[in-house]
Amino acid sequence: MRRRSVRETSAALATLATIIAVMLAAMPAGLAWSDDAAAPTAAAPAPTPSSQPLPIVSGRGPTILLFPVNVEATGAPDDLTRWATAALQAGVDTLPNVICLDFGRTSPLVRRALREGRIRTVDIEQQVTDPKVAIQIGHAMEVDMVLLATVSSYKVTSKPATAEVVVGGQLYDVKSNYDDQSQEAKAEPTVFRAFGVVGRSKQWSEGTDEGVMARQALRDASWRAAQVINGKTAEQVSSAPTEKKSNKSWRWFILAAAVVGLAAITHNSDEPTVHTATPVEFLPRNAVATPLTGGENAIKITWLAPEAVVTTPAVATAFLGYQLQRQTAALGSTTLSAPVTIANFTTLGPAITTFTDFGSGGLATNVTYYYRIRALYSNRPATDFVQATGVGLF
């Protein structure tokens, strides 16, 4: 077993202190402690996040590289790392003007960096927990910040059927923690912001699949973590917002690809309420996904540039490119996975209007794939997402 470095141990202890403070702050007053438990000492106040706002880079929010979430909790499902990483990426990606990329082997950005020799195969095969390594990779990937997170506790109860997770992490600014002269990360990286949050699922009926409860608890924790990353205190995010139906319904076009032909159907899916609707001339146009034939198990997504980019030089100058996300659902199901960014403006620059999604060694069968794309500008918030056709591969 690899021994932790002093730096890693310090970061873990800082996260643990934050988590303990958050849990103590959330305990009801007068809560009785069992006789066999150690009496609690006076709790220190939860650490106050840095008041420094997230950095603005070229008129936009930061690009954050999220490394696969480390799971230290005992008894956790094998898929918890994947679920936690997807949930945290989705949570952070909802912050205004923030772009969150996952450091996974299927990411086009990661594969491109690997091809160009900026990162090594060992970098994507190891579980990155050392901030120095993360910052070094973040510099090579040309991102603004790196995010390390850990699930330190995982608990499931049967009566009532609920799940609870404790997630902690640290966000590091790449530029301020990188020494250009030595071409290495600084010996003692400075944490830009740390968080420690508890996420809980709702009470489900007995016999509910554990994975359903776990993913809901992770989404709850990820929402809280994203708010702390954005500058709120732990007390301000002690209660997640009440879930409600959005007053905006997106129409998803589902195209089922089969040997005998294609059939198109539609259904409605709720999307989070958009703060301000994007003027249509700034949106990508005519996003369409098409299955590739010949046993490639891949989907090609095409679109047209926003009208304002084509007609207005000032808008074209501020145009950075696109962000493309994928969601999946089992055939016949209306339950969608959390959106995952599969390509960003570093790959999908202003001149790009097509992308082929191969997944990892080919996309899976018996799955319906959904795609959505938005435009990114240096002088205005990221646009709303435009939904592309969903394609079912059989």
Please provide residue 294's backbone torsions phi and psi, each rounded to the nearest 5 degrees.
90, 20
> Are 85 and 50 within 8 A, CB to CB?
no
Give the CA dihedral 374, 379, 380, 383, nearest 10 degrees: -10
User: 């790959």: which residue's tokens?
Assistant: 347
Among 173, 162, 155, 168, which residue's Cα sits nearest to residue 222?
168
Summarize the confidence of residues 330-335 as an average pLDDT. Answer: 71
Query: Would you state the pLDDT for residue 150?
Result: 96
Strands 285-291 and 261-270: unpaired
Summarize the confidence of residues 66-84 as an average pLDDT. Answer: 93
Among 261, 15, 245, 297, which residue's Cα sits nearest to residue 153?
15
Query: Would you state the pLDDT for residue 51?
Result: 55
Residues of the chain with CATH 2.60.40.10: 249-393
Please say whether the structural domain 6-27+42-237 has been given the CATH code 3.40.50.10610.
Answer: yes
CATH fit for domain 249-393, picks 2.60.40.10, 2.70.98.10, 3.30.450.20, 3.50.50.100: 2.60.40.10
Q: Give the full edge-to-edge strand order of the sheet including 285-291.
A: 285-291, 299-304, 354-357
- Between 215 and 234, the higher pLDDT residue: 215
Helices (H), the chain: 6-26, 80-93, 108-115, 121-125, 131-140, 210-229, 307-311, 313-318
Peptide bond just before 47 cis, omega within 30 deg = no
Among 238, 375, 365, 226, which residue's Cα sits nearest to residue 298?
365
* Residue 58 clears pLDDT 80, i.e. is over it: no
Summarize the confidence of residues 225-230 as an average pLDDT. Answer: 92
* Residue 140 clears pLDDT 80, i.e. is over it: yes
pTM above 0.85, yes or no: no
Task: Assign 390 to helix, strand or coil.
Answer: strand
**C-alpha to C-alpha distance for 176 and 332, rounded to whole angstroms:** 49
Residues 36-54: tens digit of each pLDDT:
333 333 333 333 445 577 8
Residues 313-329: tens digit of each pLDDT:
889 888 988 999 988 87
DSSP string covering 76-98: --TTHHHHHHHHHHHHHHTSTT-
Residues of the chain with CATH 3.40.50.10610: 6-27+42-237
For 106, other C-beta atoms within 10 Å of its C-beta total: 16
Q: How far lies 13's CA from each of 85, 271, 360, in Å?
A: 21, 37, 35
For 156, other C-beta atoms within 10 Å of its C-beta total: 17
* Residue 264 clears pLDDT 80, i.e. is over it: no
With bands split at pLDDT 50, 70 and 90, how would you rate the model's confidence at 272? very low
